[in-house]
Amino acid sequence: MTRQLAFDLPGTEALTRADFFVAPSNALALQAVEGWRDWPGHKLLLIGPEGSGKTHLAHVWAEATGAVILQASALAGVDIAALAGRSVAVEDAQEIGAAEAALFHLHNVVTAGGALLLTAPAPPRDWGLQLPDLLSRLQTAQVARLDSPDDGLLSAVLIKLFADRQVAVAPNLIPYLVSRMPRSVGAARALVAALDSHALALGRPVTRALAGEVLDRVENG
């Protein structure tokens, strides 16, 4: 009987403060986000590569402040006036494109009574902005930088995720997974879920051989 490979991937990633793993790559950014009441000009820019934790920190901040989270690419269709005085997080701000005027308006109505958090992989000067007034305002924002998760952080995350599922693994499996997996905490969660599901489907323990099968499948699409 052929068994189907089942990927028990969560529909949404856990993005609460309790799920945020603190490491040297993100500790200063977390400190900046949690100190939002003291942001100069009531705004902060989170900069870091994909998978470094920008979205997670935006959700941590929104949970603490009641902020609205918006995608920059959809900003042109948002009722900006309705957000006056609210706190707002704008994700992937580098993709603002033709909605620069909307972001400029949002900046002004939000920072007058609330707070503005923006996430991007690079500073505003690299977004190709055409509105000088928008660029000048964004360049005055406090900047918090994140690096890609290091091996220590990914190892700690994997160990905890396996323990949470009560899955026993050999110590040498962790560095093997870290060496081949995408560099993000979200990828670690998805990988552990897939390994657990695959092992259950086949009635096998989570070993390096089984992990190789799952990783090969992921890498080969």
Q: Give this prediction's pTM.
A: 0.81
What DSSP letter does each residue of 110-154 carry, written as one string?
HHTTS-EEEEESS-GGGTT---HHHHHHHTTSEEEE-----HHHH
Predicted confidence (pLDDT) at residue 181 exceeds the cutoff of 50: yes
Among 145, 172, 206, the domain boundary falls at 145
Distance (Å, rounded) from C-alpha 122 to C-alpha 62? 22
- In tens, the pLDDT along 87-140 reads 999 999 999 999 999 999 999 999 999 999 999 999 999 999 999 999 999 999
Distance (Å, rounded) from C-alpha 178 to C-alpha 40? 38
Which residue segment(s) compose the domain that 88 sits in? 24-145
> What tokens were used for 79?
């009722």
Distance (Å, rounded) from C-alpha 117 to C-alpha 163? 34
- Assign residue 180 the CATH number of its domain: 1.10.8.60
> What tokens were used for 72?
């920059």
| Confidence at residue 92, expressed as pLDDT on a 0 to 100 scale | 97
162 & 118 share domain: no
| Confidence at residue 9, expressed as pLDDT on a 0 to 100 scale | 39
- In tens, the pLDDT along 39-77 reads 999 999 999 998 889 999 999 999 999 999 999 999 999
31 & 136 share domain: yes
Choice among 1-10, 152-161, 194-203 with the minimum mean pLDDT: 1-10
